[in-house]
Structure 1
């Protein structure tokens, strides 16, 4: 069986193909046209039905029909399509390119407070606010994109950490988990040690355990060491960083031991720090609190400490006499 002109069969498959082509090329404009030529807004128009009646017949929300009406009329104000009032029910008209539809069609939630905030942020970034609103309505899909795509995940991290309020809330939530706190400490150690090693390679100096700046005088062989080569990657793993850090510490220790004056200063600084820490800890003890838990074990421990301090003081006096 053929159509009236005998050009092609009257077959539902061919009808669907034609309809598919119309929708594919026009995008949302086809739906906008159906609404614009079929409904009335304020005053009843012969041959048309109300927005509510159209929505009930279509089995969708009234708000959705209104968004299509508003999009059509906004495009009409730009002279892109005819005004809805001039259209004849059931009659077609020339439609714009499909990719222009998103410019006029407001996604659900666009008029809400949240929608307005999303729009303001999108405009500030030069992004499509309608696409942003669409994303807010598909959170499982957004999560999948973050998990599955590195660049999307990086964009999400940048968004969360670029503003103090969001950064604080995100960190507080993450660090509430003990495993995350542990992982954060490990990562912070990796970052700190990596920075230490790379600075040592760049400046050819490094700080000793006592805080002294030590000239390393790195040789070609030392610079070519595989432990240092391993951290030249963009993001070396924790094991590679720790091996490189330990190697630089070895180089620092060699440099300290090779210079007698430097070795003496290093030892003096190390002892001074130890004495200061011990002094602060003892001075922080409240005698009243100590008396509340006093027993022979504590007395013996304190006596042993006092004897050790006296012995060290006597040794120093003998050397300095």
Structure 2
């Protein structure tokens, strides 16, 4: 039971403003003259920030949406959605310059405080829909059908036929449409719409979701977990999806749907044709590759199948090596850049780039379907030229040596760091102690060969003289 406050003499000045604003919102439905003017005053004076946010909370409001939703006498006891609707009303005196300016300032302030309207901001709308699907999966689409569709309506062919629906409160607030009309509006088929409708019907019968009579267009409810959807979107519905998918692909490829369905219904015959006919096997291979682009389950299944067969694993490794070698030659030829064994990226000399271009052109014009040998030859030729270029330039050679040494030292340091947490003092035996001592002697001998000079340069020390 709600108690109405008849006297407001105890309220502060700010609370008086909010009291009048709520009265305008509640008693006269947000009459533009009263509500919009009072809201402008509340925002202009920042009155809503100077009111306790609750009976036992002396802290003022910091969020305008909380102020809108708060119970009286602290807030407006309304919703953000309702206030946004009222903001679209035009003040009767908005034709007067100073009133229009006041309204513009007020609406801009509200939009700043509340942020973009999810129903108008495309990013917010996409994020909301994405989050809903991530949480509930197919239930999201089931709800859209369940709250909007009433099968069997508009059979006379008039797609605009609407079916009045009673809201939970008992007043007519919205209309539902036929499955055919909904399908036209969504760019799909009525059979697809009805599959979601029947899935929702099964769930409603099981008591998992509300029945159709309790839903109206636009209504949101808490949805079940995504994993439960598969229990009601049955194998029959999934098989219908399968037929529609085959029909869609047949239309794209310009082939016969009937013939495609015959193949799909006889996997044994399809397997026999693949095993016995190279052209059929090639067609199947291309189809699988195309499907794997969007089917992660198939990607995983194919990867497992390949790794389970040693011959296939070796073939994949060889093809990966060939691809990497070809990409190396192509990068030198097209970009004029090369990566040395030490990890340096340098400009390729003109003769090296020219040679790489020649090899690349020869490979691309090969008529045979297995250029592995030619790729290996091109890669080896380019690598020999790289080695010659490094040896022929003292500066590059020195940099390459430094890069190689740095790589070795970095890897060694990482290896040592990886055992630093091991309790060596507790587990070390004589052999391990000897190996560590030899490693230390090697590092110390290496360090003794160099010493810093002024200016940061290094010089090699003659160990025999020392």
Alpha-carbon separation, structure 1, partners of 2:393 and 2:426: 50
Alpha-carbon separation, structure 1, partners of 2:289 and 2:444: 57
Superposition deviation, residue 208 in structure 1: 0.7
Matching residue within 123, 131, 148 for 2:259:
131
SS in 2 for 1:197: helix
Matching residue within 274, 289, 304 for 2:438:
304
Partner of 2:156: none
Q: Does 2:384 correspond to 1:260?
A: no
Partner of 1:171: 303
Partner of 2:458: 320
Superposition deviation, residue 225 in structure 1: 6.9
Q: Does 2:325 correspond to 1:188?
A: no
Contact kept, 8 Å, 1:122 with 1:128, in 2: the verdict is: no
SS in 2 for 1:206: strand
Superposition deviation, residue 113 in structure 1: 4.5
Q: 1:204 to 1:236 in 2, by over 3 A?
A: farther
Q: Does 2:411 correspond to 1:277?
A: yes
Q: 1:320 to 1:153 in 2, by over 3 A?
A: closer
Partner of 1:146: 274
* Number of positions where the alignment pairs a residue of Structure 1 with one of Structure 2: 211
Pick which of 252-261 and 209-218 moved more.
209-218
Matching residue within 340, 346, 350 for 1:217:
350
Taking the TM superposition and a 5 Å limit, the aligned residue runs for 1:1-321 are 112-113=236-237, 115-125=239-249, 126=251, 127-147=255-275, 148-149=278-279, 150-214=282-346, 215-218=348-351, 222=355, 229-230=362-363, 232-233=365-366, 235-288=369-422, 290-291=424-425, 293-317=427-451, 320=458
Superposition deviation, residue 132 in structure 1: 2.4
Q: 1:121 to 1:245 in 2, by over 3 A?
A: same
Q: 1:243 to 1:291 in 2, by over 3 A?
A: farther
TM-score normalized by structure 1? Answer: 0.56
Alpha-carbon separation, structure 2, partners of 1:317 and 1:188: 45
Contact kept, 8 Å, 2:322 with 2:375, in 1: the verdict is: yes
SS in 1 for 2:351: coil
Alpha-carbon separation, structure 1, partners of 2:417 and 2:260: 59
Alpha-carbon separation, structure 2, partners of 1:285 and 1:296: 18
Contact kept, 8 Å, 2:352 with 2:382, in 1: the verdict is: no
Contact kept, 8 Å, 1:205 with 1:213, in 2: the verdict is: yes
Alpha-carbon separation, structure 2, partners of 1:299 and 1:181: 41
Alpha-carbon separation, structure 1, partners of 2:378 and 2:336: 14
Superposition deviation, residue 232 in structure 1: 5.0
Superposition deviation, residue 304 in structure 1: 1.4
Superposition deviation, residue 317 in structure 1: 1.7
* Offset from partner CA, 1:71-111 (integer Å, 9 cap, x none): xxxxxxxxxxxxxxxxxxxxxxxxxxxxxxxxxxxxxxxx9
Q: 1:224 to 1:275 in 2, by over 3 A?
A: closer
Contact kept, 8 Å, 1:212 with 1:266, in 2: the verdict is: yes
Alpha-carbon separation, structure 2, partners of 1:189 and 1:122: 37
Show structure 2 runs of 5+ residues with no match. 1-234, 460-466
Alpha-carbon separation, structure 1, partners of 2:271 and 2:291: 14
Pick which of 311-320 and 255-264 moved more.
311-320
Q: 1:233 to 1:140 in 2, by over 3 A?
A: farther
Superposition deviation, residue 313 in structure 1: 0.6
Superposition deviation, residue 114 in structure 1: 5.6
Alpha-carbon separation, structure 2, partners of 1:129 and 1:294: 72
Q: 1:145 to 1:200 in 2, by over 3 A?
A: farther
Alpha-carbon separation, structure 2, partners of 1:258 and 1:304: 37
Q: 1:291 to 1:130 in 2, by over 3 A?
A: farther
Show structure 1 runs of 5+ residues with no match. 1-110
Alpha-carbon separation, structure 2, partners of 1:224 and 1:160: 33
Superposition deviation, residue 166 in structure 1: 1.8
Contact kept, 8 Å, 1:231 with 1:240, in 2: the verdict is: no
Alpha-carbon separation, structure 2, partners of 1:112 and 1:228: 54
TM-score normalized by structure 2? Answer: 0.40
Superposition deviation, residue 263 in structure 1: 1.3
Compare the two structures and name the one with the higher helix fraction: 1
Alpha-carbon separation, structure 1, partners of 2:287 and 2:396: 48
Which has the higher relative contact order, 1 or 2, with Cα contacts under 8 A spaced 6 or more apart? 1
Alpha-carbon separation, structure 2, partners of 1:146 and 1:161: 21
